[in-house]
Amino acid sequence: MPLNKLKNLLLPQDNVFFELMEKQAETAHKASQALSELLENYNNIKKKSEKIRELEHQGDQLMRDVYTALNKTFIVPIDHSDISTLANALDDVLDLIDHASTLLVVYDIATPSSAMINLAKLLVDQTNELESAVTAINHSRTYGKVAQHCTKIKHLENKADEMYTQSIAALFKKNKPIEIIKQKEILDCLESATDMADKAAQIISDIVMKHS
């Protein structure tokens, strides 16, 4: 086998893993923005939800690309397990955003609650920080910025937990059991997305600790 082909097989080219994960984080951020816009301007719900589904499909392809690259590359810039774990966490954030969007359509929610709108806004802020954090692990010289982004993500996750708890308490005071079930599932999904964004941030922090 020619030396250049062997090199291409063994060594990651053009930071492919980082580029793919940056695209994953960017796609999750775009989806969170689309969900927030959907909830704040609650019209053409099905069409807007379909756009989020398109982003989710893009995310699925990025996830496949990550695994294809892992299977083809012997030497990677960071541990194989770190790459797959982070890529999966980023994909889970996107999946949860898509699921929340789908539930709004399937459950025929007439009007989103203020808690849904506010949780979606927090998720936009989280994914923005997450995108920056993923970009920062591409180069050791930007490792110092990671902690700042991850701290903000944790702070936003704490706010989301508090908001979720208060909204569930208020929801159970209503006398419409079916509506309670529908809204709770959507709130659960949004809160889980903020938890997953925080999990992704923790994985990024661990990667930096290993390599700094």
- By residue count, the chain amounts to 212
104 closest CA partner among 91, 92, 116: 116
Strands (E), the chain: none
pLDDT (tens digit, 9 = 90+) per residue, 129-174?
999 999 988 766 666 788 899 999 999 999 999 999 999 999 998 8
108/45 Cα distance (integer angstroms): 9
> What is the amino acid identity at position 68?
T
Q: Which domains does the chain have, with CATH numbers?
A: 10-211 (1.20.58.220)
Task: Please tell me the predicted confidence (pLDDT) of residue 144.
Answer: 75
Instruction: Decide: 92 and 194 in contact? Cβ < 8 Å.
Output: no
Supply 97's token pair: 């955003």
Return the higher-pLDDT residue of 58 and 81: 58
pTM over 0.85: yes
Mean of all residue pLDDT scores within the chain: 89
Rg (CA), the chain: 19
